[in-house]
Amino acid sequence: MNTTLPPNGSLTQAFLSWEETLIDKMKLNPHHPDIWACWQSAQGLCVTRKEHRLPNFEKAQADLIAKGQELATRRSGGTIVPQGEGILNITSLSLSYGPRNIGKSYMDFCKDMQTRFNTVGFDVDIGPVTGSYCDGDYNLILDGKKLAGTSQRWVKGPDKAFIILNHAVILVTENGQIATQRVNNFHKIADGSAPYIAASSISLWESEQNQTGLSKTLFFEKVMQNLFN
């Protein structure tokens, strides 16, 4: 089976299909190694099945497509998140033969991410951020604001094992307020609300205030190299 990661800038749906291909492969191999991948998709939004039930979902989807952006649907939990340039996605896939413990799996993943950020000078915490999009107990928090959200999915694997998919969406150079506004704009059409507070999220770039002197492109590449490769 082809498990090659799509090139950065591909549609989010291509990366989600790549994840499904890997899950299918792991179902056949009780000794499959863990997967850890970083990717950046084309501009758009990623929703769950929950958003499909909003009263004007199709109208909001058509509006997004008319702007040349993508609306992808993922099978893990949470709610709508932004995708696109300046946003780094982490996909972690692993086999678990122990008892199912969703909270522990979330925390193990988040603590690993926290250690990576702290090692390179970003003091990251874990917890909820009131008013942020796709909020939950396992956000990564920087300067009191949401830096990244996480989601999780459990799939029956080989020999009574589970395949655990952990996913993080990290604002690297994408402005936190703009990212939140993109989510709110979708909701305004889909259900007439603007549920999220723009100032609740922050990117690494904003926190650094460009003290590195790097361009956004080079800063993004440096983050991937230093933290996740």
The closest alpha carbon to 94, from 110, 74, 109, belongs to 109
Domain extent at residue 99: 12-228
**What is the total count of domains within the chain?**
1
Q: pLDDT band at 1, cuts 50/70/90? A: very low
In a domain, 3, yes or no: no
Q: Mean per-residue pLDDT for 199-220? A: 91
pLDDT reading at 2 higher than 60: no
Reported as a single tens digit per residue, the pLDDT across 53-78 is: 999 999 999 999 999 999 999 998 88
Q: pLDDT band at 185, cuts 50/70/90? A: very high
pLDDT at residue 212, rounded to an integer? 78
The closest alpha carbon to 8, from 35, 41, 43, 56, belongs to 41
Helix or strand or coil: residue 11? coil
C-beta of residue 21 within 8 angstroms of C-beta of residue 1: yes
pLDDT at residue 227, rounded to an integer? 85
Residue with tokens 């950020």: 117
In a domain, 111, yes or no: yes
pLDDT reading at 218 higher than 90: yes
CATH code of residue 194: 3.30.930.10
In a domain, 7, yes or no: no
Mean pLDDT over all residues of the chain? 95
CA distance 182 to 82: 7
Burial class of residue 90, CB neighbours in 10 A (0-12, 13-18, 19+): buried
pLDDT at residue 213, rounded to an integer? 86
In a domain, 6, yes or no: no
In a domain, 65, yes or no: yes
Reported as a single tens digit per residue, the pLDDT across 16-40 is: 999 999 999 999 999 999 999 999 9
In a domain, 121, yes or no: yes
Q: pLDDT band at 49, cuts 50/70/90? A: very high
CA distance 132 to 180: 8
In a domain, 32, yes or no: yes
pLDDT at residue 228, rounded to an integer? 81
- Beta strands 162-171 and 87-96 are antiparallel
pLDDT at residue 77, rounded to an integer? 84
pLDDT at residue 195, rounded to an integer? 97
Q: pLDDT band at 209, cuts 50/70/90? A: confident
Q: Give the total residue count for the chain.
A: 229
Q: Reduce the secondary structure of 27-81 to three states and give it as a string.
A: CCCCCCCCEEEEECCCCEEEECCCHHHCCCHHHHHHHHHHCCCEEEECCCCCCCE
Answer yes or no: pTM beyond 0.85: yes
In a domain, 100, yes or no: yes
Reported as a single tens digit per residue, the pLDDT across 97-132 is: 989 999 999 999 999 999 999 998 899 999 999 999
Reported as a single tens digit per residue, the pLDDT across 130-149 is: 999 999 999 999 999 999 99
Residue 145 pairs in a beta bridge with: 142
CA distance 123 to 14: 33
C-beta of residue 204 within 8 angstroms of C-beta of residue 223: yes
